[in-house]
Chain A
């Protein structure tokens, strides 16, 4: 084989090249399709479990959930209907009562976007819980968003009331400097992690501005039984 290679360079072996690449590409395609077929259901199941776990973490006490989609033109549809848009997750108590809706928003932080899941309670029109999904914030500062007890207190009953027109929040959620919180729609920042706190505020505002009006309008769809 070695000798053959050295005497070859004069002629370009077109047929062997095509044949080899063809065989390899076919083989590769077969393998990838096979792997996709085998793993796809497993991946989908993992993703479903992960979302469920997150939703129940943000809304403790809930036992079942149903997935909905907010479409681009602001309608609320069940995910099963096949519509595409922003997913939201309605969580129910054991008695079948709607407890809260998990909504996702993101805001620019110190090192890229911070993605957060919030629990929105339609009855009090407020945010009642939060969980950071994705952030690149500096460890030691950024993770305070999930652990700092004083900061968590902000998300016990953060007002997200829809205005009279029913299209946006009456008072946009904002992050204020530490110790200057005066209104229920303000978030008291963490000292030393102001930018991350602001990102959290932006995420809450984005999530609520988009989801709260739709949820309030189509509340019946969420509360009615399957």
Chain B
């Protein structure tokens, strides 16, 4: 071995962006959304977020230790998974189920594939898909936002004993004496009753829904900030939204009384949060510039198809998981030609 001259290929100048710096910035961008969720749904949302984040970090720590990969908690990625998962769950979701979701998300969605950088799918969504299939009733039980006394008492179902059925919330909701509470999210109302919630309400978050998915405006601001910080590829959220609008538009023009308007499609459900913070997952999305646009359009269009014609009111979770699954294929199709090669 000769020593002395070190020969390396380009690039020779690098911007110092480490994994943990990216992840910390994403966490920072998620904090306002989490804070809004807590303000809106109170103590239960706080406990939910703490549980998912805590269990996600613990699971990550345990798997890293068991597989001898060193301390991977410090890269903050488990914190993001935990936070995102908590934000996509209903605020009154029993904590033990949330813990199951966080464990499955990290263990099945990430650790078993080999940890950060090797996961095929977004871990938070893997966890959520698991509990969606395991506890379909609990995950579609919604509670009203801005309940009086939300900072001093928790929603009864939150503190369900582990492995037991969620405590019924009907009496608790009835005790709140809310006018016009139907227990349905805007998406369910639209799908089953064809009633469209005013756009302004879903834009500013004055509606029922998952803990962190209600305010499209806030998510948009946080996402834009992250894009401006160059911590996410802006092409992904933009093409997801474009895909959703393009798919929803013809149906809406055909029959506005039956099909939702493109605005409603954008602002309702988990689309906004998913577009900005989940579809843009760096590991699970394609790597080429052309690829991410195809990937985004695919997710957006699929979301609308599932919403309109599937059995469930919301489809963005499955759309992204499917998008993640075809991601590597899209990457290999859209490999740019090497300069000078035929």
A: which residues have CB within 8 A of B? Answer: 110, 138, 140-141, 177, 191-192, 194-195
Contact = CB atoms under 8 A, between A and B. Distances in A.
B170 to A, nearest CB: 12
A177 B137 contact: no
A140 B193 contact: no
Nearest to B133: A138
A192 B136 CA distance: 10
Q: What are the 3 closest A-B residue pairs judged by CB atoms, nearest first?
A: A140-B136, A140-B137, A110-B311
Interface of B: 136-137, 140, 183, 192-193, 311
Say what secondary structure dominates the interface of chain B. loop
Nearest to A192: B140
A110 B311 CA distance: 8
A195 B311 contact: yes
A193 B136 CA distance: 11
Given A140-B136, A194-B192, 11 more contacts: A110-B311, A138-B136, A140-B137, A141-B136, A141-B137, A177-B192, A177-B193, A191-B183, A192-B137, A192-B140, A195-B311
Contacts of A177: 192-193
Nearest to A194: B192
Nearest to A195: B311
A174 to B, nearest CB: 16
A162 to B, nearest CB: 33
B297 to A, nearest CB: 29
Nearest to B136: A140
A96 B193 CA distance: 49
Contacts of B137: 140-141, 192
Contacts of B193: 177
A140 B183 CA distance: 19
A140 B140 CA distance: 12
Contacts of A194: 192
